[in-house]
Amino acid sequence: MNEVKGSAGLPDTLVFRLGTLGAVVGDRFAGRIERLDLKPKHVGLLTALGQGSFASQQDLAGRLGVAPSLVVSLADHLESLGALRRVRDPQDRRRQVLTLTDRGHELLAACTAEATTLDGELTAHLDEPERRALHATLGSLATRAGLSTA
Amino acid sequence: MNEVKGSAGLPDTLVFRLGTLGAVVGDRFAGRIERLDLKPKHVGLLTALGQGSFASQQDLAGRLGVAPSLVVSLADHLESLGALRRVRDPQDRRRQVLTLTDRGHELLAACTAEATTLDGELTAHLDEPERRALHATLGSLATRAGLSTA
DNA sequence: TATTGTTATACTCTATAACTATA
DNA sequence: TATAGTTATAGAGTATAACAATA
């Protein structure tokens, strides 16, 4: 009498589920990479660098959807960890080319391992076809949402 | 030679996908409810109140996973919008019982409509069985992640 | 003395704007 | 004059800790 039953409630929407799950899972992931002295945004930068090379830090900022000044501080931290090197572009000495070091690749691998472990914990109750379907569908959602992961 | 192909890369993990999707979708949702003078955290509080009654603001804080002081400011704002009322519990006058007003239910419905619209945009490329499967799987993930939505 | 809600304060994150150097 | 990166500053969001009222 006092509850709307026919239409889906807010907690049943994809938007609500993705938002809350993303926040919780993100926090949990943050806890796991804390020992590496990294935060999710650093991992985002490492990942972007691991996927291809970018002409400039400003390109990176656009790709990550953050302000260029934030790329500076993220890169500062990663540089202090020995994870990346800044090299001036001889063609245009205003630009800095960021490249992952061996240590950077190690850190990226360690983060991937943590994420994979968490994945396993989250999907332990799913069978293999369900896992694959979820993976594929989230991939297509990401593309649709404008997250060019590839 | 320089890329690990066998194991899944970080962007292919559930953790990464959920984290980035959650952030993007959350931001987009925030943009849509801005005209209602609400932010996602307010919607979280409205939703919790819409689902059941809670003995105290501190219960609410625990449920939402935020500090009790934050519940105060969220409730202040919602009260100023006429969305909820604070009533002192006569049994224990230290406690305030928060209840949604008609306006609060209206706002909750408006947020649900926005979320549903966004859902449609995100899943327009999926067929109905895929949508249902995604919904069900995310629901089970939420439960597993400790988000008692029900 | 313990607990609820509130207020005061401080900290984290991130963006905007000013600045430096190169072009 | 315009652009890349950096630095300085400011704002939002949230937590911690002190406080007042009630138990």
Dihedrals phi, psi of A13, to nearest 5 degrees = -80, 155
How does pLDDT run across A114-139, given as a tens digit for each residue?
999 999 999 999 999 999 999 999 99
Contacts of A10 (CB under 8 A, 6+ apart): A16, B43, B47, B50, B108, B111, B112, B115
Rounded CA separation B12/A135 (Å): 8
Test A19 with B4 for CB contact under 8 angstroms: no
Spell out the SS3 assignment of A37-53: CCCHHHHHHHHHHHHCC
At B133, the amino acid letter reads A
CA atoms within 13 A of residue A15's CA, in its CB half-sphere: 27
How does pLDDT run across B38-92, given as a tens digit for each residue?
999 999 999 999 998 777 899 999 999 999 999 999 999 999 999 999 999 999 9
CATH topology classification for B38-119: Arc Repressor Mutant, subunit A (1.10.10)
**pLDDT given for residue B93 in this prediction:** 96
Domain map (residue ranges) of chain A: 25-119
Q: What's the CA–C1' distance between A75 and D7, in Å?
A: 15
**pLDDT given for residue A4 in this prediction:** 45
Percent of chain B, pLDDT > 90? Answer: 87
How does pLDDT run across A23-73, given as a tens digit for each residue?
999 999 999 999 999 999 999 999 999 998 777 899 999 999 999 999 999
- Nearest CA to CA, how far is A123 from chain B (Å)? 7
**pLDDT given for residue B7 in this prediction:** 66
Buried b or exposed e, range B28-61, using 16+ CB within 10 angstroms: bbeebbeebebebbbbbbbbbbbbeebebbeebb
- Nearest CA to CA, how far is B19 from chain A (Å)? 4
Give yes or no for A10 touching B (CB within 8 A). Answer: yes
Q: What's the CA–C1' distance between B61 and C9, in Å?
A: 20
CATH number of A25-119: 1.10.10.10
Q: A-chain residues within 8 Å CB-CB of B133? A: 130, 133, 137
